[in-house]
Structure 1
């Protein structure tokens, strides 16, 4: 090889080496910045708890641009803070890591959100304060769970333990409903939609549930950015901080509660642990401040012994229960060819291709399209966390809202006008009577809901309604049914020419006054269709049973 070739190779190697050194330096700088922030946060916490005097606080060098903590001092300080056992309560018991990390989430994300909300509006601050109180209540619940066995989720005691959290969620919804006319309503709705994330403690796959509620809340945070980004500089920071709570909670759940709340199989009964926690909370009182002593403050306690460096990897601790966790999974995957050694040899009597009688009992389920497993079913929000909103009958602009009525014995009467529309939603076992000619009527997600109307210009639409009833006194052009099950429609002589559109709808009967003396005759709406293909087209006809 020529000298020029050697020079080019050496230059290329030197450039790569410099790039690697630059990347390593950047990484070390990032770690140092992390150390400084962590040390200052822990020192501030200890100072607030009386663990470090004000003189020691002032002695800690600042981490600004002009003054940085030396690497060896930062490592020692960080590890000394880390080595302090997390204790809580009067007895000085060590706080479990799962509880400590949840408390850290509240301090790092929720508390700053409360402070930022006070700069935006008092109503927003009030709602976020209740949001923070719900986090505190869930922290209490996790402290009980870490000491108790898994209870029966259907038990009265378990429901009562979650009742304070549920009350906080209801309070958030009430504050939102009471301030619908506020210009900060998108803020309130963002928190109200996201408050359902506290239900993760009652499901088996909490991480996906948190993502779902973040998506629901993000619709309103986008409205916040749209309406306030230019007028309020705090809007973007508020949205970013609020959504980061979902992300950090999801990471926390994945680490400590991947399949639901982690219970203590060797712990006490849930009722006993809950009673002990309540008793401890009732008797625990903050210590009285010490009277000032002449001659200055008492000497600070001696600092703890410095442990190993932050850069030293800690040995992995095996989780309780004998399972190796995620590390064991990766270790098993990295075995390579050795992973097949644990497979058992199939005996000739167990081979289906040599024993036809075994084929009928060992059918393999059909593989889904694309060779992928179906996505997991989204967990539904538990009933115990569903907020029961107050009944509402209100005219907003030119639209009537009738919502959240249940088992209402008296008819709900609406005097409508031709330019007004009616929306009926989330109503069960109610009767709504609409007088006069209105523009449009929509009924959504209601069970055993009945409506009696005079006349409608656009038509009647029912979506996700079960066991409904509709009666038309005068006329309307069309009726639309989408995902409805079980219903009866009564049309007047004037409305017999109305069109009926159905989609994913079953067990619907239409009654027409075509019998003797104007009696109603029932006509079931067809559900079975026959599709045929010919001449490059699809033809659909109703399937008729020849009896």
Structure 2
């Protein structure tokens, strides 16, 4: 079912995406032709896997080259058309098309497809924001592309849960299962018949002389057998209740010596237990952790850099696109991140700098003092929260960045001039709010002439 399932994606949501792309025209239409070729190349690869045993690693690289070349062509087209009015469309596809790389991912390729789908969401949201009021076909274009990746994720999860399945792998598994079944049946020295397995069921043996497994106990019938016992129990209960005052004859009488208000000695005893009241911890990390030794570890997809002091040579290398870098309580340190990753977060850092190539989502500064960042490529969003002193050095590719700041001061953005120098522009910190038309608020920036 693997090949027909993938063909359904090509002939379904992908065909709808191609149709709408042709209607939009221009760069989107030309870009969609490369997308179509990439999916067709992967379909041929899946057809090969459905009829062949798994080849050597070198052969796998050769077989994957057509798909890889198409993905590179899609991304190169975006880079060559950065001035296009439909640049957000091209970026949405370029950021998420690596989802076709699931064929080389194991043991969980389906989550990888979702991560690549999420990577393009920043640009699909931009397309929706720009075109939802002007032209609805762009909205339908976004829906068709997202549905294509969603169905690709469902296809991978259903047919290739732990990685691409090759035909030889299934045949070897089936042969081993048949051999094991034969050995079990021969041990009984009885004639058997094999029952053909249904989907998601195991093979089982049916012996003519006795069953292969113990029969299940019969289901409980509430209208027979036990019902009579239940009625007897209820009759006994009502008989006890109908005794009237005689029902208390079996109870022991409480004498004066047993009553605490008549026997003061019974009131003496240990003091009642008072639980210790602990103060609630409002911070995510307690203050007692400030003296911990420095650490630089990778935990799954997260790079944890904590308690570094005076270290200017911290480097994150060989990071993948779905990785995140998290800095906590670092002082007088510099971190360099090589390659494109998902996001970077600086939490409670002081006099710390971070230099990185490119990000899929954002870089965040939280509870920091005197920090700096420099991006060499692309960063979509910069978030500054409860931070005093933040220098943001942008590249020419990141001039469309969105900067979100709150409860922060001394923030400056440095824009490249082109001659190696920068233009420094402060981010506003003071605002003036007035009531407009007695029903809404109007907020404007208050410039400090100093």
Q: TM-score range by the shorter chain?
A: 0.3 to 0.5
- In the superposition, the TM-score normalised over structure 1's length comes to 0.34
- In the superposition, the TM-score normalised over structure 2's length comes to 0.41
